[in-house]
Amino acid sequence: MPGDIEHAKQAMRADLRQRRQLLSPIQRESAEESLTAQLWQLVDSTGATSVSCYLSTTLEPGTRTFVNQAIERGLRVLLPSTRADGLLDWVVATVDGEEATGPHGVPEPVGELLGPIAVDEVDVLLIPAAAVDMSGMRLGWGRGYYDKTIGSMQKCPPVYAVIFDAELLDEVPTEPHDQPVSGVVTPTRVITFAAQQR
């Protein structure tokens, strides 16, 4: 039943959020350093010259070091900005660029807004997640922005969810609109799911 699945998702999100809150500042800092190395491994292995990423919150695996390094090394990085219609606009990232708090309390870049189709030009999408299962199904945070983005792309590049190691699970509850990801990046590894290679 759809209501049961949504209830299961909410319960899993609450549990995962609580686990993230238990991480100490030192654990977060160490995880961001290790994650940055894994993100570079993915970029190097794919030959990507343009990626989409996002500005991590304090509860998410840290992406900010990677974003700044990527810009400094000449990669084009697009960061999302939420829209009222449930889609995402995109902003070209700058080193330590200006940011504001978006409508859902998450940091968003300040800058010239590119439309939703701007992301069609990137080589790899790096997206947030609460958890991902071994079949490549992603549990997001319930707002649907990334499912809509991935589902609307004519030619979707590889999509990698950024999670902590313990958030790669055997199974997550899914609904028909949920979009699978190509793989995950954690502080210790990059995993590509064979069934989801795009």
Query: Taking the mean position of all CA atoms in its chain, how far away is CA 150?
Result: 12
Q: How many domains does the chain have?
A: 1
pTM to 2 decimal places: 0.93
Q: Report, as an integer, the average pLDDT of 75-94.
A: 94
Domain of 79, CATH number, reads: 3.40.50.10420
CA distance 107 to 24: 21
**Does residue 105 surpass a pLDDT of 90?**
no
- Domain range for 65 is 2-196
pLDDT tens-place string over residues 147-184? 999 988 878 899 999 999 999 999 999 988 889 999 99
Nearest to 107 by CA among 70, 63, 163, 150: 63
Which parts of the chain fold into alpha helices (H)?
Answer: 2-21, 25-46, 64-72, 145-152
Query: Taking the mean position of all CA atoms in its chain, how far away is CA 108?
Result: 13
Identify the band that residue 32 occupies on the pLDDT scale cut at 50, 70 and 90: very high
Identify the band that residue 2 occupies on the pLDDT scale cut at 50, 70 and 90: low
Q: Regarding beta strands 131-133 and 159-162, do their DSSP bridges make them parallel or antiparallel, or are they unpaired?
A: unpaired
pLDDT score of 195? 62
